[in-house]
Amino acid sequence: MQQQTNIRTQDEAAAAPRLNVVAGGAGFIGSHLCRALLDRGEAVLCLDNLQTARPSNLRALEGRAGFLFVQHDISQPLPAAVTGAAGIARVWNLACAASPPLYQRDPEHTMLTNVVGTNHLLRLAEGAGARFLLTSTSEVYGDPEHHPQAEDYRGNVSCTGPRACYDEGKRAAEALTFDYARAGRAEVRVARIFNTYGPNMDPADGRVVSNLICQALRGEALTIYGDGSQTRSFCFVSDMVAGLMALMEADFDGMEPVNLGNPVEMTVRELLGHVQALTGTGAAVEQRPLPVDDPRRRRPDITRAGALLGWAPRVPLAEGLAATCAWFADELGALPHKTGTMNRDGIAGRGTPAGAAAPAGTEPRRPGRASAAAAQ
Ligand SMILES: NC(=O)c1ccc[n+]([C@@H]2O[C@H](COP(=O)([O-])OP(=O)(O)OC[C@H]3O[C@@H](n4cnc5c(N)ncnc54)[C@H](O)[C@@H]3O)[C@@H](O)[C@H]2O)c1
């Protein structure tokens, strides 16, 4: 992976398209965001420590005009190559492992990424006079007592459990972000992202959609945690990126978080049924114990996103899952049982779903890694 440091100077910046710093840009959602910004004709400086990034996400971006990559951990002071870049207009903070087994592997680092790392990026935005967007999470609602979750619900989070490094880290990052805004130090936006899925997910990072699809494609037993009656709401990644971009550009004071997610709620059992039908797998289903503090219900109230951004998800689960399944089949070199119903971009030869970004790049196939034992 090539690290580029030819960040532009003041003179170059004056004539260049506006510059976006995307921390976490080599990850799942970040790679789609970088691509969408480049497609819009803007420049992107991707800042990532590659902790949970997929190298092929980055390979698909490298070489595109306006794209620069700097390998760096945001919990450490930002390098001069970034702080000295001229013309930074937008700072996006997506840097943080999102999968429970991965963010729990080094909880101290997860907490520092969220708090110290967010502070470094806020200072960058303050110095550049840039707008800052934090990707927070539905996990700030913890195991919710209110349903669906609206932004004014304050949550039910354990500050001592194994998920606290992430949940409380994100809550602290939100607090810090709004403190900068209150003090007039930076213009901010905060997105609370609910479960998102799609191409470019790491097959091994242990999220429920990628776990079930990869197990089905490999002919392995399908694992669910608890009895599968817990609910989730799944948003296709192109809808999420459209929501993030709309939020960043929205004309409001930014002093309130905005839920982004798909309000169609289903049980994990129902999701399992969709994956079984889509892949034709006849593999056994194995039940494992529910992880500590696993939320029982999850559904975003997206009224605020609708009112402020005119945004709502457009890709139905069937289309999004088919596109994701086809992408994973390609990644894993596996042939889905029902090849006739899927292609890499959509379903049944209908091409890319409405509003959906086609999977990034045409990366070569590579062997899959073993699935992580995971929370959902
Ligand atoms: N995917 C979801 O369903 C979901 C849900 C809620 C919130 N989010 C948030 O959205 C953001 C992106 O999530 P994702 O699903 O793309 O996760 P991801 O793990 O695929 O991407 C995160 C990226 O951040 C990088 N990173 C992690 N720690 C870093 C650090 N200290 N310094 C620099 N880079 C670092 C990783 O290498 C990776 O490329 C995260 O902040 C996550 O908390 C995601």
Range list of H helices, 183-236: 208-218
What is the spatial distance between Cα 159 and Cα 169, in angstroms, rounded to a whole number? 10
Instruction: Give me the pLDDT at residue 17, please.
Output: 84
Answer whether residue 333 is part of any domain. Answer: no
Residue nearest to atom 26 of ligand 1 (CA): 95
Phi and psi, residue 299, nearest 5°: -155, 125
Answer whether residue 280 is part of any domain. Answer: no
Roughly what angle, to the nearest 10 degrees, separates helices 237-249 and 28-39? Answer: 60
Sign of CA dihedral 135, 140, 143, 146: negative
CB of residue 97 inside a 6 A radius of ligand 1: yes
Q: Which ligand 1 atom is the nearest neighbour of the CA of 57?
A: 39
If one counts every other C-beta atom within 10 angstroms of the C-beta of residue 245, the result is 19
Model pTM?
Answer: 0.89
* Nearest in space to 32 (alpha carbons), one of 236, 309, 333, 300: 236
DSSP state of 113: I
Answer whether residue 352 is part of any domain. Answer: no
For residue 197, indicate whether it is catalytic.
no
Answer whether residue 167 is part of any domain. Answer: yes
CB of residue 259 inside a 6 A radius of ligand 1: no
User: Cα 318–320–323 angle (5° rounding)?
Assistant: 105
Answer whether residue 64 is part of any domain. Answer: yes
Counting the structural domains of the chain, the total is 1
Answer whether residue 71 is part of any domain. Answer: yes
Reading the block at residue 57, the tokens are 């996400």
Q: Which ligand 1 atom is the nearest neighbour of the CA of 73?
A: 32
What is the spatial distance between Cα 136 and Cα 191, in angstroms, rounded to a whole number? 6
What is the spatial distance between Cα 33 and Cα 151, in angstroms, rounded to a whole number? 24
CB of residue 74 inside a 6 A radius of ligand 1: yes
pLDDT in tens, the chain (376 residues): 444 444 566 666 666 789 999 999 999 999 999 999 999 999 999 999 999 999 999 999 999 999 999 999 999 999 999 999 999 999 999 999 999 999 999 999 999 999 999 999 999 999 999 999 999 999 999 999 999 999 999 999 999 999 999 999 999 999 999 999 999 999 999 999 999 999 999 998 889 999 999 999 999 999 999 999 999 999 999 999 999 999 999 999 999 999 999 999 999 999 999 999 999 999 999 999 998 888 899 999 999 999 999 999 999 999 999 999 999 999 998 654 443 343 343 322 222 322 333 333 222 222 222 233 333 3
User: Where residue 27 sits, what CATH number does that domain have?
Assistant: 3.40.50.720
Answer whether residue 146 is part of any domain. Answer: yes
If one counts every other C-beta atom within 10 angstroms of the C-beta of residue 231, the result is 18
CB of residue 240 inside a 6 A radius of ligand 1: no
CB of residue 49 inside a 6 A radius of ligand 1: yes
Q: Which of 103, 141, 166, 180 is catalytic?
A: 166
Q: Which domain does 84 fall in, by range? A: 10-196+235-260
Q: Which ligand 1 atom is the nearest neighbour of the CA of 25?
A: 39
Answer whether residue 225 is part of any domain. Answer: no
* Nearest in space to 338 (alpha carbons), one of 289, 274, 290: 274
Cα of 250 from ligand 1 centre, angstroms: 23
- DSSP 3-state of 58: helix
